[in-house]
Structure 1
Amino acid sequence: MIPVLRWILLPISLFYLLIVWTRNKLYDKGILKSKSFDVSTIIVGNLAIGGTGKSPMTEYLVRLLSSHYTLATLSRGYGRKTSGFRYVEMTSTAVEVGDEPLQFKNKFRKLTVAVCEDRCKGVEILKNNHQVILLDDAYQHRRLKPGFAILLFDFRSLFSTIITLPTGNFRDNFSASSRANLIVITKCPRRLSLEQQQQIEHQIRKHSDAPILYSNIEYNQLRNRDHLPVELDLSVYHILLLTGIANPKPLKEYLLDKVASVKQLTFPDHHNYSEADYIKINSAFQNLQGNRIIITTEKDIHRLHKDSLAALPVYYIPIQLDFIADKEIFDRKVLEYVSLTQSVNKH
C-alpha cells in the first residue's frame, strides 16, 4: 500500500518514467552505445529499489561457478566513501569498499572482489585474468551490454502498485524485464499457491518470455563477530534487532516466534554507523530486560565497529537463497551460457 502523501508526487513519477523510458529506447536502438566484452559477464539486478536479495543471488552464483572458472565479482560499492576501481582485501573496511563487497570477500576469501562505479572500466581491468565476472546490481548500467542478465523481483512488490519513484518503489520501467535471460521471484512464502504464480506470470509475460523461477530466503546458524557459528537457545533471549538494510521485515518475522521478544532499531540501507548511533544502540540494549543479545544482519556486521560495541553480545544471522523448485533449470541455463562463451572466446 502506497502512502497517500506519496501520491502527491505522481507528476514527478510520470516525468521520471518518461526519462527512464527514453533512455532505455536510446540504448535499445543503438543511439546510445553499449559495450560488450569477450568474457562471460553475468549481471544480477532488479527494477525496484533494494531488498530483493541480490547479494544471496550473487553468492549462489559464486558457489555454482567458482569450482569450474576463475571468477570475480564487481559492484559499485554502495556506502563507500572512496571512488574509482579498488580491489577488496581482507583488511578493507566498509567505508573503503562498501558492505556487500566486504561480505563477499570475507565469505569467499579466494574470490577476486572489486568495486568500481564505472562497470565498463571495472570489467576492462578484470577481464584478462578472469573467465567470469559477476556484476552485482548492474541491471540499469546500460553502458555495459551483459552476456547474461538475471532479474530479481521481491514477491511482495508484484502484489502492490507498480509505479516508478518517488510515488512507487520502481526505478525502471516494468517493460525492462524484456532484457532478462532469467527472472527469479525472491522472498516467496513457503506455501506458494498456483494462483499466486499465475498472477505473477500473467504480469511478467506481457514483457518477457524468460524462464520464471521462485525462491525464498534460508536463514543459517547464528554467528558471532568473528564469523564463528554459535549455539544459543534463542527462546530465552530478548532481542535487540539492529538493521541497516532496505527490507528488515522478513528477518523480524523469522525471529518473532523463536525468541522471547524483539525490539527493533532500524537505520537506512548501507548506513555508516556514527558514535551517536552507538550510544543509541547501547541505550536500547540496556533497556531490555532479562537475558538479552543483539542480532544484526550479515551486511551490518561489516559496518559495525567492533570497539564501539565490544562490551555487548552482538551476533548476526547469515542468509542464502533457496530455490523452491526448478533449481536445475537455473543452474543449467547459467552453466550453458558460461560454457558457450568460454568455447567461443577460445576461438
Structure 2
Amino acid sequence: MNALPAFWLSRGPLAWLLLPVSLLFRAIVACRRWLYGSGMLRSRSLPVPVIVVGNVFVGGTGKTPFVIWLARALAAAGHHPGIISRGYGGSGSVEEVLPDSAAGQAGDEPVLIASRTGCPVVVGRDRVAAARLLLQRHPGIDVIVSDDGLQHYRLPRQVEIAVFDTRGTGNGWLLPAGPLREPAGRMRDFTVINGAATAPGVAGQAWRMSLEPGNAWQLADPQRRMPLALLCAGRQVLASAGIGNPARFFDMLAAIGLQFQALPLPDHYAFERNPFEGRPEEIILITEKDAVKCRGNTALNGDARLWVVPVTAALETSLTQRILERLRGSPPA
C-alpha cells in the first residue's frame, strides 16, 4: 500500500457510503472475539509465554523496528527470545528464516528481523505451527515474540502490544470505511506510538518510539559505511521507500537536513524490475526492508548508487521493565 485512501483519515462521503459494510465487519470482529473469549473457540497452548506485537491501524506504523528493539531488550535482560511472523509476500509455508534467506520465499520483514536481531525466526500463516517449529528447532527459547498477529486468536498470548503512528486511528472507523482492523479501544497491555507521545483517537497511556537513522551502508559493498550528511553533500539524491508509510522515511531524512527527490513505492515492492533505471541521481537512499529484496536483483545489487539507511527504534527503558513484570506475572497458556 503506497498511501492510505484519503477517506480513511476523515469521515467524508465515501466513508459514510461504506459505513454499513464497516458495521458488518465490526459485528464479525466482535463475534469472533466473543467466540474465543467464551471458550467456544480455543487458543492452542504453548510451553513458553508469547508477546504479540501488532497493528490495529492497517498499514505500516513502525512495527518491525519495534519488534527488533523488543527482541534485543529481552535478550539484554537475560531471556532467549525467538520470533514468529506470517512472512508477508513469502510462500506461506512454515519454515525457519536465516539472515541470507530469499525475501521472496520467507518475506522481507522476517529476513530483516533475523539479520538485525540474531534471534531464531520462523514464518508461517499458521502462527501456532510456526511457534511449535521454533521451539522444536531451538528448545532453549524462553519467550516468543509474534511479529503481527493481534487478530490471530488461535495463538495464545500473555502480552499484547499495539503500535500506532502519528495518524492515530484515522477516522476511527473499521475497514472498509476506515483504517482499523478492530475497534480503537480494544484491550491491550501496552500502546506504542511511533513519532509522538500522543496520537488522534489513541486513548490511555502510550509509550513514544522514535526511529533514529544510522550511518548508511552501500548495497554493493556492505562494508562501506558513511554518515548520511557526508554521503549526500553536494550530490543529487533520490530517496525511495517500499514500506507501508513511505512519508515517514522521507520525513526522517528531511528532519536531518537532507535534500532529495522522493520516490514512494508500493508496500512490499518486490523489485523484480528496476525502478531506478534511467534515474540521474548520484545517490539513491533505500530502506533496510527494501535492501533485503534488492540484493536478489543483480542489476540492483551491483548498483553503486544504492545506499541503505538503517534505523534503530528508541524507547524508554522503563517499558522493558514493565513488559518483564507482565511476563513474570503471566504463566504460559
TM-score by length of 1: 0.82
* Contact 1:52–1:153, Cα closer than 8 Å, also in 2: yes
More deviation, 233-242/20-29: 233-242
Q: Which amino acid aligns with 2:299?
A: S
What is the CA distance between 1:340 and its match in structure 2?
Answer: 5.1
Provide the rounded CA distance (Å) in 1 between the counterparts of 2:67 and 2:51.
Answer: 10
What is the CA distance between 1:256 and its match in structure 2?
Answer: 2.9
Alignment partner of 2:98 out of 89, 94, 103: 89
SS of equivalent residue, structure 1 residue 102: helix
What is the CA distance between 1:257 and its match in structure 2?
Answer: 5.6
Post-superposition Cα deviations, 1:232-273, rounded to whole Å, max 9, x if no partner, equal: 342422222221100011221222365664222222111212
Match of 1:38 in 2: 47
Alignment partner of 1:331 out of 317, 320, 330: 320
What is the CA distance between 1:94 and its match in structure 2?
Answer: 0.3
Identity %, equivalent residues? 28
SS of equivalent residue, structure 1 residue 204: coil
What is the CA distance between 1:136 and its match in structure 2?
Answer: 0.4
* Contact 1:237–1:259, Cα closer than 8 Å, also in 2: no
Match of 1:181 in 2: 189
Q: 1:260 to 1:149 in 2, by over 3 A?
A: closer
Counterparts of 1:195-234 in structure 2 under 5 Å?
A: 204-205=203-204, 211-225=205-219, 226-228=221-223, 229-231=225-227, 232-234=230-232
SS of equivalent residue, structure 1 residue 236: coil
Alignment partner of 2:309 out of 303, 312, 317: 317
Q: Which amino acid aligns with 2:121?
A: V
Match of 2:270 in 1: 272
* Contact 1:69–1:131, Cα closer than 8 Å, also in 2: yes
Provide the rounded CA distance (Å) in 2 between the counterparts of 1:135 and 1:164.
Answer: 23
Unaligned runs of 5+ in 1: 206-210
What is the CA distance between 1:213 and its match in structure 2?
Answer: 1.7
What is the CA distance between 1:165 and its match in structure 2?
Answer: 1.4
Post-superposition Cα deviations, 1:25-49, rounded to whole Å, max 9, x if no partner, equal: 2222222212232202111011011
* Contact 2:86–2:125, Cα closer than 8 Å, also in 1: yes
Alignment partner of 1:308 out of 274, 286, 299: 299
Q: 1:236 to 1:259 in 2, by over 3 A?
A: farther
What is the CA distance between 1:168 and its match in structure 2?
Answer: 1.3
* Contact 2:85–2:124, Cα closer than 8 Å, also in 1: yes
Alignment partner of 1:281 out of 272, 276, 279: 276
1:50 and 2:59 correspond: yes
Q: Which amino acid aligns with 1:181?
A: D
Q: Which amino acid aligns with 1:144?
A: L
Provide the rounded CA distance (Å) in 2 between the counterparts of 1:44 and 1:230.
Answer: 32
Provide the rounded CA distance (Å) in 1 between the counterparts of 2:293 and 2:325.
Answer: 37
- Structure 1 or 2: more helix by fraction: 1
More deviation, 36-45/120-129: 120-129
What is the CA distance between 1:156 and its match in structure 2?
Answer: 1.9
Provide the rounded CA distance (Å) in 1 between the counterparts of 2:47 and 2:242.
Answer: 37
What is the CA distance between 1:7 and its match in structure 2?
Answer: 4.2
SS of equivalent residue, structure 1 residue 281: coil
SS of equivalent residue, structure 1 residue 157: coil
Provide the rounded CA distance (Å) in 2 between the counterparts of 1:259 and 1:332.
Answer: 35
Alignment partner of 1:252 out of 247, 250, 253: 250
1:125 and 2:133 correspond: yes
What is the CA distance between 1:311 and its match in structure 2?
Answer: 3.2
SS of equivalent residue, structure 2 residue 39: coil
* Contact 1:163–1:169, Cα closer than 8 Å, also in 2: yes
1:154 and 2:145 correspond: no
Match of 1:165 in 2: 175
Alignment partner of 2:75 out of 58, 63, 66: 66
Match of 2:289 in 1: 299
Q: Number of residue pairs matched?
A: 313
Q: 1:56 to 1:11 in 2, by over 3 A?
A: same
SS of equivalent residue, structure 1 residue 150: strand
Q: Which amino acid aligns with 1:77?
A: G
What is the CA distance between 1:9 and its match in structure 2?
Answer: 2.5
* Contact 2:210–2:313, Cα closer than 8 Å, also in 1: yes
* Contact 2:232–2:283, Cα closer than 8 Å, also in 1: no
Provide the rounded CA distance (Å) in 1 between the counterparts of 2:256 and 2:166.
Answer: 24
Q: 1:183 to 1:90 in 2, by over 3 A?
A: closer
Alignment partner of 2:152 out of 141, 153, 165: 141
Post-superposition Cα deviations, 1:48-105, rounded to whole Å, max 9, x if no partner, equal: 112211111111111112241222110000011x122111123311001001111112
Q: 1:51 to 1:260 in 2, by over 3 A?
A: closer
Q: Which amino acid aligns with 1:314?
A: L
TM-score by length of 2: 0.86
What is the CA distance between 1:18 and its match in structure 2?
Answer: 1.8
Match of 2:5 in 1: none
What is the CA distance between 1:21 and its match in structure 2?
Answer: 1.8
